[in-house]
Chain A
Amino acid sequence: SQKIEQNSEALNIQEGKTATLTCNYTNYSPAYLQWYRQDPGRGPVFLLLIRENEKEKRKERLKVTFDTTLKQSLFHITASQPADSATYLCALMDSSYKLIFGSGTRLLVRP
């Protein structure tokens, strides 16, 4: 069956450092990979999308890489700030535009 793995342990980093979150998947060939941010008690908020034929995508302090051979995406937040503290969700989108989500990784940025 399809499986998406994100590190269940929280990532704890110092303000100003780069946060790197990992998303691995198996038994799936996604057309797109997306990253969402979720704050406690709120719905997920879309951040970035990367297509299967793209290696890297950037948006302001965010960078996503996508390696379809390794079946892995890395999500980077550079110059991290306490306001970046949240849970980050990886999601795979198939050709029918349905999303399958990972369980998320919680990021804590210390001042």
Chain B
Amino acid sequence: NAGVTQTPKFQVLKTGQSMTLQCAQDMNHNSMYWYRQDPGMGLRLIYYSASEGTTDKGEVPNGYNVSRLNKREFSLRLESAAPSQTSVYFCASITLDRGLGYTFGSGTRLTVV
């Protein structure tokens, strides 16, 4: 089915460990986004990529890096995980010539202990 695929779905890390969250979309969308969702705080933008080859910081970029590997894939890396990064991470994509509603993945639930 067409959409946004995120892996893994669940992950537990120890403080200081690193990991990469993967996101791929098969809708030929130009722009991709990484959000985190914490209880009572809504979704907050971490990084985004308006088009292949570009990335920009969002509201809460500290502690994260991203790579827009190609048009389909946009990965989020935690170099040294901290308990404050415990959250649910969502990837989303959009293409402007097909409406402005974001398509979200099903999320990665990350716990840092």
Contact A42 B106 (CB under 8 A): yes
Please determine whether B45 and A99 come into contact, CB atoms closer than 8 angstroms. yes
Tell me if A's interface is mostly helix, strand, loop or mixed. strand
Q: How many residues of B contact A (CB 8 A)?
A: 27
Interface membership of chain B positions 45-67, coded 1 if the CB is closer than 8 angstroms to chain A and 0 otherwise: 10010100000001100000000
**Does the CB pair A97–B42 fall under 8 Å?**
no
Task: Count contacts on A: residues with CB < 8 A to the other chain.
Answer: 24
Contact with A along B93-113 (1 / 0, CB 8 A): 010100111111111000000
Chain B minimum-CB-distance residue to A34: B101
Q: Does the CB pair A89–B42 fall under 8 Å?
A: yes
Interface of B with A (CB < 8 Å)?
4, 31, 33, 35, 40-45, 48, 50, 58-59, 90, 92, 94, 96, 99-107
26 contacts between A and B (CB under 8 A): A4-B42, A8-B40, A32-B100, A34-B100, A36-B102, A41-B106, A42-B107, A43-B4, A43-B90, A43-B92, A43-B104, A43-B105, A43-B106, A44-B43, A44-B90, A44-B104, A46-B103, A49-B99, A49-B100, A49-B101, A93-B100, A97-B50, A98-B45, A99-B33, A100-B59, A103-B42
